[in-house]
Amino acid sequence: MARGRAPCYSIRVPKVRFEGRSIDIPAGQTLRRGLLDAGLSPHNARARWLNCKGFGSCGTCAVEIEGEVGERTAMERWRLDFPPHQADRGLRLACQVRVQADLVVRKHPGFWGQHVPMAPSEEP
Protein backbone atom coordinates (compact mmCIF):
# COMPACT_ATOMS: atom_id res chain seq x y z
CA MET A 1 0.00 0.00 0.00
CA ALA A 2 1.43 3.35 -1.01
CA ARG A 3 2.06 5.90 1.66
CA GLY A 4 0.74 9.33 1.20
CA ARG A 5 -1.97 11.66 2.23
CA ALA A 6 -5.41 10.44 2.98
CA PRO A 7 -8.05 11.82 0.66
CA CYS A 8 -9.52 15.08 1.88
CA TYR A 9 -13.28 15.22 1.84
CA SER A 10 -15.12 18.45 2.22
CA ILE A 11 -18.15 18.14 4.46
CA ARG A 12 -20.69 20.91 4.05
CA VAL A 13 -22.25 22.02 7.32
CA PRO A 14 -25.88 23.17 7.03
CA LYS A 15 -26.60 26.85 7.62
CA VAL A 16 -29.63 27.89 9.64
CA ARG A 17 -31.11 31.40 9.49
CA PHE A 18 -32.78 32.36 12.77
CA GLU A 19 -33.60 35.79 14.18
CA GLY A 20 -31.47 37.58 11.58
CA ARG A 21 -28.41 35.39 12.17
CA SER A 22 -26.89 32.64 10.10
CA ILE A 23 -25.36 29.82 12.09
CA ASP A 24 -23.76 26.50 11.24
CA ILE A 25 -25.36 23.43 12.81
CA PRO A 26 -23.74 20.04 12.24
CA ALA A 27 -25.85 17.64 10.19
CA GLY A 28 -27.75 15.25 12.44
CA GLN A 29 -27.88 17.55 15.44
CA THR A 30 -31.27 18.67 16.71
CA LEU A 31 -32.27 22.20 15.80
CA ARG A 32 -32.83 23.02 19.48
CA ARG A 33 -29.33 21.93 20.52
CA GLY A 34 -27.74 23.80 17.61
CA LEU A 35 -29.59 27.03 18.45
CA LEU A 36 -28.74 26.78 22.15
CA ASP A 37 -25.07 26.08 21.36
CA ALA A 38 -25.05 29.30 19.29
CA GLY A 39 -26.49 31.32 22.18
CA LEU A 40 -29.98 31.46 20.65
CA SER A 41 -33.20 29.97 21.95
CA PRO A 42 -36.18 28.33 20.26
CA HIS A 43 -38.23 29.31 23.35
CA ASN A 44 -40.08 32.55 24.13
CA ALA A 45 -40.02 34.42 27.44
CA ARG A 46 -40.28 32.16 30.50
CA ALA A 47 -40.34 29.06 28.33
CA ARG A 48 -36.55 29.50 28.16
CA TRP A 49 -36.50 28.11 31.70
CA LEU A 50 -39.82 26.24 31.85
CA ASN A 51 -39.50 23.57 29.18
CA CYS A 52 -39.04 19.83 28.85
CA LYS A 53 -35.31 20.17 27.96
CA GLY A 54 -35.71 18.51 24.57
CA PHE A 55 -37.98 15.55 25.25
CA GLY A 56 -40.77 16.86 23.00
CA SER A 57 -43.48 16.87 25.63
CA CYS A 58 -44.00 20.58 26.31
CA GLY A 59 -44.14 22.05 22.81
CA THR A 60 -42.53 25.38 23.77
CA CYS A 61 -39.87 25.04 21.06
CA ALA A 62 -42.45 25.03 18.23
CA VAL A 63 -41.07 26.87 15.21
CA GLU A 64 -41.91 27.36 11.55
CA ILE A 65 -39.30 25.88 9.22
CA GLU A 66 -38.55 26.55 5.57
CA GLY A 67 -36.38 23.88 4.07
CA GLU A 68 -36.20 20.13 3.92
CA VAL A 69 -36.54 18.24 7.18
CA GLY A 70 -37.58 14.68 7.93
CA GLU A 71 -40.97 13.40 8.95
CA ARG A 72 -42.40 14.27 12.33
CA THR A 73 -41.42 11.96 15.16
CA ALA A 74 -44.18 10.16 17.09
CA MET A 75 -43.65 12.52 20.04
CA GLU A 76 -43.84 15.56 17.76
CA ARG A 77 -47.07 14.34 16.14
CA TRP A 78 -48.57 13.68 19.57
CA ARG A 79 -47.64 17.09 21.02
CA LEU A 80 -48.65 19.17 18.00
CA ASP A 81 -51.99 17.41 17.77
CA PHE A 82 -53.59 19.20 20.73
CA PRO A 83 -53.98 22.81 21.98
CA PRO A 84 -52.57 25.30 21.94
CA HIS A 85 -50.93 23.99 18.77
CA GLN A 86 -52.65 23.04 15.56
CA ALA A 87 -50.84 20.38 13.53
CA ASP A 88 -52.09 21.86 10.28
CA ARG A 89 -50.30 25.20 10.94
CA GLY A 90 -46.98 23.72 9.84
CA LEU A 91 -45.12 24.06 13.11
CA ARG A 92 -42.33 21.69 14.10
CA LEU A 93 -40.65 21.06 17.44
CA ALA A 94 -37.04 22.24 17.34
CA CYS A 95 -36.10 19.51 19.83
CA GLN A 96 -37.31 16.80 17.46
CA VAL A 97 -36.06 18.13 14.11
CA ARG A 98 -32.62 16.91 13.02
CA VAL A 99 -30.82 19.39 10.79
CA GLN A 100 -29.78 17.88 7.45
CA ALA A 101 -29.82 20.87 5.07
CA ASP A 102 -29.98 24.66 5.06
CA LEU A 103 -33.05 25.99 6.88
CA VAL A 104 -34.85 29.22 7.62
CA VAL A 105 -36.48 29.09 11.05
CA ARG A 106 -39.08 31.49 12.49
CA LYS A 107 -40.29 31.66 16.06
CA HIS A 108 -43.82 33.02 16.47
CA PRO A 109 -45.27 34.81 19.51
CA GLY A 110 -46.93 33.03 22.42
CA PHE A 111 -45.55 30.91 25.25
CA TRP A 112 -45.56 27.88 22.93
CA GLY A 113 -44.81 29.85 19.76
CA GLN A 114 -48.30 28.95 18.62
CA HIS A 115 -49.50 32.32 17.27
CA VAL A 116 -48.88 31.70 13.59
CA PRO A 117 -50.28 34.51 11.42
CA MET A 118 -53.27 33.48 9.34
CA ALA A 119 -52.84 33.23 5.61
CA PRO A 120 -55.00 35.75 3.68
CA SER A 121 -57.23 32.88 2.49
CA GLU A 122 -57.91 31.87 6.13
CA GLU A 123 -58.96 35.28 7.41
CA PRO A 124 -62.64 35.65 8.35
Residue 72 lies in a domain: yes
Residue 121 lies in a domain: no
pTM, to two decimals: 0.85
Q: What share of the chain in percent tops pLDDT 90?
A: 73
Closest of 36, 29, 86 to residue 62, by C-alpha? 86
Mean model confidence pLDDT for the chain: 89
Q: What is the CATH number of the domain that holds 96?
A: 3.10.20.30
Residue 57 lies in a domain: yes
Amino acid at 123: E
Q: Per residue in 68-103, pLDDT tens? A: 999 999 999 999 998 898 767 889 999 999 999 999
Q: Per residue in 95-119, pLDDT tens? A: 999 999 999 999 999 998 988 887 6
- pLDDT band at residue 17, thresholds of 50, 70 and 90? very high
Residue 55 lies in a domain: yes
The tally of domains found in the chain comes to 1
Q: Are 90 and 64 in contact (CB under 8 A)?
A: yes
Residue 74 lies in a domain: yes
The Cα 35–Cα 78 span in angstroms is: 23
Partner residues linked to 98 by β-bridges: 30
Partner residues linked to 5 by β-bridges: none
Residue 49 lies in a domain: yes
Residue 7 lies in a domain: no
